[in-house]
């Protein structure tokens, strides 16, 4: 599948100006995919530059500082091709979407369930079984005969570490891609140590987790499905992961980000086996409260317009309880 995709892609990138972009507040999977995207464009004879809507997330900045890798950002707006990585929905691209929607060619490489970007793309590689977008990008670059420098390979491994939660959710592609990255000189231990230290030591993350717990509401559905709902001012994804690791089956964490509300949704294997997936919940929340939902089976996100956080917490908790009760009674 990588070979066929490359055959389709290569003639469209050659000698063209290519914008490589991803979702707002780019996480390590997004920046790693962008970096490999830039190298792939160069390798296939195009000229690439990056744009990141609303900048990089804190952990992404840490990973770039740690490895000393820099992304080449676009200066002008004269774009011929738009390559979107690690995103499924145009709302995730913010202002950058206007550049992409008018580009001559739109390319999408992603591992989320298909959203409206899949419809808008002229060429696409979408595989929701991949645990990160980075692993798809690395295997594509490898198949194309390109490679990364050792610091770049180290940075790029952070995309896989991050999205697989240090390999707990890794797919076979993730291990294949890691093996390629190690051949290219990746120092994976550097990244592993940084992730472990970050979890233990980051003051604002610890604060967010404990505040989230103090505000949390807990519901029970279907005998043994625990639904935890809360709100935070940042770190909503990390907090949702922590809630799941503490035993919640459904974690819903509401936060406000750049004049939008986000709901980070996570579901356990138990919840998924009963027919309650984060992906379905995010679509249902978006439909009922207005907004855009999407992501993966076990981890997804809803974006919606601002409204009081407490009322959203209440409503999403109700939706999750309703969904679980329905699923368990087989309706
Ligand atoms: Mn991702």
**pLDDT at residue 76, rounded to an integer:** 80
Closest CA to 31 of 7, 1, 65, 8: 65
Q: Kindly report, residue by residue over 40-78, the tens digit of the pLDDT.
A: 999 999 999 999 998 898 899 999 999 999 999 999 888
First to last CA, the chain: 38
* pLDDT surpassing 80 at residue 255: yes
Ligand 1: distance of its center to the CA of 247 in Å?
A: 23
Is 80 exceeded by the pLDDT of residue 330? no
Is the pLDDT score of 199 beyond 70? yes
Q: How many helices (H) and strands (E) does the chain have?
A: 14, 11
Q: What does each C-alpha distance from 203 to 30, 198, 241, 309, 318 come to in angstroms?
A: 24, 9, 17, 23, 32
The confidence score (pLDDT) of residue 201 equals 77
Residue 255: enclosing H or E segment and its boundaries?
strand 250-257
Model confidence pLDDT, tens digit, residues 104-140: 999 999 999 999 999 999 999 999 999 999 999 999 9
Average pLDDT, the chain: 94
Cα(86)–Cα(109) distance, rounded to whole angstroms? 7
Instruction: Tell me the percentage of the chain whose pLDDT exceeds 90.
Output: 85
Instruction: Enumerate residues 6+ apart whose C-beta is below 8 A from 267.
Output: 244, 249, 250, 251, 276, 277, 278, 281, 297, 298, 299
Q: How many angstroms does the Cα of residue 33 sit away from the middle of ligand 1?
A: 9
Could you tell me the distance, in angstroms and rounded to a whole number, from the CA of residue 23 to the centre of ligand 1? 9
Tell me: the pLDDT tens digits for 269-298?
999 999 999 999 999 999 999 999 999 999
Mean pLDDT for 177-194 is: 97
Span from the CA of 223 to the centroid of ligand 1 (angstroms): 33
For the cut 90, the answer to whether the pLDDT of residue 258 exceeds it is: no
**Domains of the chain, first to last:** 2-198 (3.90.1640.10), 203-328 (3.10.310.40)
pLDDT at position 331 is: 60
How far is the centre of ligand 1, averaged over its atoms, from the C-alpha of 86 (Å)? 5
Instruction: Give bridge partners of residue 126 from the DSSP assignment.
Output: 110
For residue 162, what is the DSSP state? H
Cα–ligand 1 centroid distance for 27 (angstroms): 8
Protein residues with C-beta less than 5 angstroms from the ion ligand 1: 29, 86, 133, 163
């Amino acid at each position: 599948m990588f070979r066929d995709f490359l055959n389709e892609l290569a003639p469209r990138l050659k000698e063209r100006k290519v914008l490589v972009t991803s979702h707002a507040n780019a996480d390590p999977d997004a920046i790693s995919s962008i970096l490999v995207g830039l190298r792939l464009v160069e390798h296939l004879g195009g000229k690439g530059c990056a744009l990141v809507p609303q900048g990089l997330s804190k952990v992404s900045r840490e990973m770039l500082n740690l490895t000393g890798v820099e992304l080449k950002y676009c200066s002008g707006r004269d774009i011929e091709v738009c390559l979107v990585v690690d995103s499924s929905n145009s709302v995730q691209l913010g202002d950058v979407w206007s550049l992409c929607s008018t580009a001559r060619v739109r390319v999408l490489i992603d591992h989320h369930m298909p959203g409206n970007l899949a419809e808008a793309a002229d060429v696409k590689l979408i595989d929701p079984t991949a645990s990160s977008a980075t692993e798809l990008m690395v295997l594509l670059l490898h198949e194309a005969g390109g490679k990364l420098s050792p610091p770049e390979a180290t940075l790029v491994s952070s995309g896989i570490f991050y999205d697989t939660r240090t390999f707990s959710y890794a797919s076979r592609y993730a291990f294949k891609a890691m093996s390629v990255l190690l051949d290219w000189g990746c120092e994976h231990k550097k990244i592993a140590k940084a992730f472990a230290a970050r979890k233990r030591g980051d003051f604002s993350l610890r604060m967010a987790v404990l505040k989230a717990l103090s505000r949390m509401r807990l519901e029970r559905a279907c005998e043994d499905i625990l639904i935890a709902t809360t709100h935070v001012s940042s770190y909503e994804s990390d907090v949702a992961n922590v809630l799941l690791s503490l035993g919640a089956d459904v974690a819903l964490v509401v936060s406000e980000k750049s004049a939008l509300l986000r709901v980070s949704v996570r579901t356990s294997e138990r919840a998924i086996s009963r027919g309650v997936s984060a992906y379905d919940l995010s679509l249902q929340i978006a439909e009922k409260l207005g907004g855009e939902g999407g992501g993966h089976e076990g981890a997804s996100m809803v974006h919606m317009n601002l409204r009081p956080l407490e009322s959203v917490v209440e409503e999403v908790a109700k939706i999750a309880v309703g969904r679980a009760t329905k699923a368990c009674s087989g309706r």
